Structure 1
Amino acid sequence: MNNKVDATKSEGGKANRLDGAQALSDVTLENEFGLEALESRNSNKIIDWTDLMARFDNEEFIEEIIESFFVDNPARIEAMTEAVKIGKADAVQSYAHALKGSAATIGATSLSEAAHRLQLAAKQEDPETSEEFLVDVQAEFEKLKSFLSQPDWIQIAKQQDSRQQQIEQLQGK
């Protein structure tokens, strides 16, 4: 039995090929609930796989980069947390900037954006907003850590990117 189906959401005569269950699920979401349902299902994307592959084009190397990310950044987040608590805006800004770049390197867009918001709040020397954004950074970091602890995280990231591309095609982008 063939477990592939053609999900013919064609644009210019091009059909996407997906695993059967995923294709049917996405087509059903779009048909029954509209594009918003498909978009919300993809809104929990943790890693931008397309970006990672464009940068490194090597899954084994990507896994090594991800491992090194978790060598430095837990301590960085602890230091950043302490800096927020004691009101050291310059240190918060520096740690947040480093985390922003490190997260962007591994395609962790939500974490990178959260770190950027914290960096800007620290630059403005706004302790209350810095505390709020620190909570966001910590939450995004935990989501990333949880996601990457799954043995099939690469496959999941690929599927999420595939759904994102479908959404963009449906929107005519």
Structure 2
Amino acid sequence: MIRTPAEAIARGIVYVPEDRGSQGAVKGLPIYQNVSLPSLARTSRRGFLRLAEEFRLARDYTSRLDLRAASLDQDIASLSGGNQQKVVIAKWLATRPKVIIVDEPTKGIDIGSKAAVHAFVSELAADGLSILMVSSEIPEIMGMADRAIVMREGRIVAEFSRGEMTAEKLVRAAAGIGGEGRA
């Protein structure tokens, strides 16, 4: 049983929260420190942080997500919502997880950032990373999911494979209207 976030991270399970501003990012810190924070063991030696390693780690992951920022020294609070989300995703990917849970990964971000996040999530899945995406956006579910689990009032009410998933079925299951999928 996993009892703490540290235990989950050690087992390769990470969570990208919906509210990146207050739960996912540390405002007041620069981009590179936000990315390296959960990976300090990899960016330090004998208890001393190695700035070059922190920057390398941040550069590797933020460039894969097409981060738009003046520099990695920039305070994360000065970034757009989409770019903050990219930094939060980069931070957790830098831990080399086996499973990543992304909660509303494109909520409140512009269309270009949405496309970048979707493309990167698809690339990660193709590379074998297990991804659990929580989304209230039907088009996002339809475009990204291999399987959709519909929950209502904290309970699983339906499950659809990619081939049987339709917007109508998802909405009906979520609303509690008959004709739901496998439960």
| TM-score, length basis structure 1 | 0.25
| TM-score, length basis structure 2 | 0.24
Higher gyration radius (CA): 1
